[in-house]
């Protein structure tokens, strides 16, 4: 880590793969907490327990991923400082982001009970499902300061193109979570509570390991030529501005996913549980494709920091190419093994029968969503937060309007059609605004 030479290799498509594959593995491990919780609860409980995990995990994800700007913003600013070879700013970016993470984390601890009281009734679930969801949510949020710390650590490592270390931390996080979930659910019979407690403990341990790692890596950076202070008002204002836009963007996407979970809950516990299994598979594919989005993040940020338009063009093209290839492979996999994949998450015939008719939507989802995932990464790396925010708001509005038109006539099929329309609108709007990034490098 003592060398900060920027590898602007001519063979950039290979560089995309070199960054994307470890990031993809790290992202796949990132969805393991919800996958493990879904699978273990699905095989140990009834539809009500699975529904409780669905709502509790959705609400916890909504609240925690509202702060995903801590990862995204950190990755973008770090990648640009890396491209500009500004060692002082690399260190300062980490410090500013960690300070924000702990402030927001402790605020979440203070407001988690009123949040649950206000939010869980919005899902219109049965009383037993609502009670299980509230318990899952409360236990999960006890680890909030540490989970937000992990966002910062992963973003910083990604911005420095140290995806191997990010993968190692994700393996620690999710391996520990899987082990603890199994022990607490099956050996101690804690059910939904055990699933949430396991995730919270795993976040704490991983945050401690991550802080130790970044401290060592930061000390190995070369001495900066010019000093940079943690409290730099211009940098803080820029960080807050970009992070606020990403916060609104993330809030929109989490609102849409939680909103669609709530729409499924109104169709009955079986449909809610079926959609949760389908959403778990959708999240797995999204995290897989997001590996290419993260390679686009770091390479775009590096190109913007170095003000190199050719590398920007090759980074975007290479990320889109490999992302589409992976999306096609995922679609083929779901087409060939869809029923078997569903059976991994539940042995309840009612849930499996309810989920099977919607597999065609799951097959189409990676092919439609890959464009917005990759372009999201491009805009994160360029820290073009206004366009990201506006794209997400337009897509969310379009999806809400679409579900009002579709669900009354097509039921859960209408719900899935509106969700895919949401992904398509995001991709279209970001594609239309992408030329602004290249134009900015000419100025």
Helix axes 32-44, 47-65, angle to 10 degrees: 160
User: Which percentage of the chain shows pLDDT scores above 70?
Assistant: 86
Instruction: Confirm whether 4 is domain-assigned.
Output: no
- Predicted TM-score (pTM) of this structure: 0.76
Instruction: Confirm whether 1 is domain-assigned.
Output: no
Region 44-60 average pLDDT: 75
Confidence at residue 79, expressed as pLDDT on a 0 to 100 scale: 87
pLDDT band for 223, please (50, 70, 90 cuts): low
- What is the Cα 192 distance to its own chain's centre? 22
**How many structural domains comprise the chain?**
1
* Token pair 């803080």 in the structure block, residue: 236
Confidence at residue 17, expressed as pLDDT on a 0 to 100 scale: 67
Confidence at residue 347, expressed as pLDDT on a 0 to 100 scale: 73
Instruction: Confirm whether 50 is domain-assigned.
Output: yes
Q: How far apart are CA 322 and CA 19, in angstroms?
A: 12
Instruction: Confirm whether 126 is domain-assigned.
Output: yes
Region 414-435 average pLDDT: 94
Q: How far apart are CA 41 and CA 198, in angstroms?
A: 13
Six token digits for residue 365: 């989802």
Instruction: Confirm whether 2 is domain-assigned.
Output: no
Q: Which long-range contacts (CB under 8 A, 24 or more apart) does 28-31 make?
A: 28/284, 28/287, 28/288, 29/167, 29/170, 29/171, 29/173, 29/174, 29/175, 30/170, 30/173, 30/174, 30/287, 31/280, 31/283, 31/284, 31/287
Region 297-302 average pLDDT: 84
Instruction: Confirm whether 174 is domain-assigned.
Output: yes
Gyration radius (Cα) of the chain, Å: 21
Q: How far apart are CA 135 and CA 192, in angstroms?
A: 8
pLDDT 10s digits, 376-389:
989 988 888 889 89
Burial of 219 (0-12, 13-18, 19+ CB in 10 A): exposed
Q: What is the mean pLDDT of the chain?
A: 84
DSSP string, 91-157: HHHHHHHHHHHHHHHHHHHHHHHHHHHHHGGGG---HHHHHHHHHHHHHHHTTHHHHHHHHHHHHHH
Instruction: Confirm whether 361 is domain-assigned.
Output: yes
pLDDT band for 244, please (50, 70, 90 cuts): confident
Instruction: Confirm whether 155 is domain-assigned.
Output: yes
Q: Who wins on pLDDT, 133 or 270?
A: 133
Range of the domain at 188: 12-442
Region 212-238 average pLDDT: 72
Confidence at residue 1, expressed as pLDDT on a 0 to 100 scale: 42
Q: How far apart are CA 377 and CA 303, in angstroms?
A: 13
């Amino acid at each position: 880590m003592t060398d900060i030479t920027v590898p602007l290799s001519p063979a950039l498509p290979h560089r995309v793969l070199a960054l994307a594959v470890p990031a993809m593995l790290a992202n796949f491990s990132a969805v393991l907490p919800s996958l493990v919780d879904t699978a273990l609860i699905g095989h140990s409980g009834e539809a009500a327990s699975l529904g409780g995990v669905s709502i509790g995990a959705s609400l916890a994800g909504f609240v925690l991923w509202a702060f995903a700007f801590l990862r995204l913003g950190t990755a973008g600013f770090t990648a640009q400082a890396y491209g500009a070879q500004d060692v002082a700013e690399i260190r300062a970016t980490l410090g500013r982001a960690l300070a924000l993470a702990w402030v927001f984390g402790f605020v979440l601890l203070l407001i988690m009970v009123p949040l649950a009281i206000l939010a869980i009734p919005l899902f219109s679930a049965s009383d037993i499902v609502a009670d299980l969801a509230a318990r899952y949510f409360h236990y999960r949020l006890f680890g909030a300061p540490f989970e937000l710390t992990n966002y910062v650590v992963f973003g910083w490592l990604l911005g420095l193109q140290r995806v191997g270390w990010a993968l190692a931390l994700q393996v620690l996080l999710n391996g520990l979570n899987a082990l603890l979930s199994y022990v607490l659910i099956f050996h101690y019979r804690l059910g939904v509570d055990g699933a949430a407690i396991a995730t919270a403990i795993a976040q704490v341990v991983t945050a401690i390991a991550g802080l130790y790692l970044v401290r060592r890596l930061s000390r190995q950076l070369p001495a900066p030529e010019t000093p940079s202070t943690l409290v730099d008002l211009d940098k803080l204002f820029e960080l807050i501005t970009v992070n606020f836009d990403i916060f609104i963007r993330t809030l929109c996407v989490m609102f849409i996913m939680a909103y669609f979970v709530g729409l499924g809950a109104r169709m009955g516990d079986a449909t809610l549980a079926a959609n949760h299994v389908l959403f778990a598979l959708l999240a797995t594919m999204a995290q897989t494709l997001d590996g290419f989005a993260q390679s686009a993040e770091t390479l775009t940020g590096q190109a913007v920091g170095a003000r190199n338009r050719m590398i920007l063009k090759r980074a975007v093209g290479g990320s889109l190419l490999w992302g589409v290839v992976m999306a096609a492979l995922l679609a083929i996999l779901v087409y060939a093994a869809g029923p078997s994949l569903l059976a991994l998450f539940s042995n309840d015939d009612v849930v499996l029968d309810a989920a099977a008719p919607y597999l065609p939507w799951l097959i189409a989802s990676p092919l439609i969503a890959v464009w917005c995932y990759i372009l999201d990464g491009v805009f994160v790396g360029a820290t073009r937060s206004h366009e990201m925010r506006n794209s997400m708001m337009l897509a969310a509005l379009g999806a809400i309007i679409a579900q009002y038109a579709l669900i009354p006539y097509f039921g859960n099929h209408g719900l899935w059609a509106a969700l895919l329309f949401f992904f398509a609108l995001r991709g279209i709007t970001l594609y239309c605004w992408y030329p602004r990034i290249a134009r900015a490098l000419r100025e």
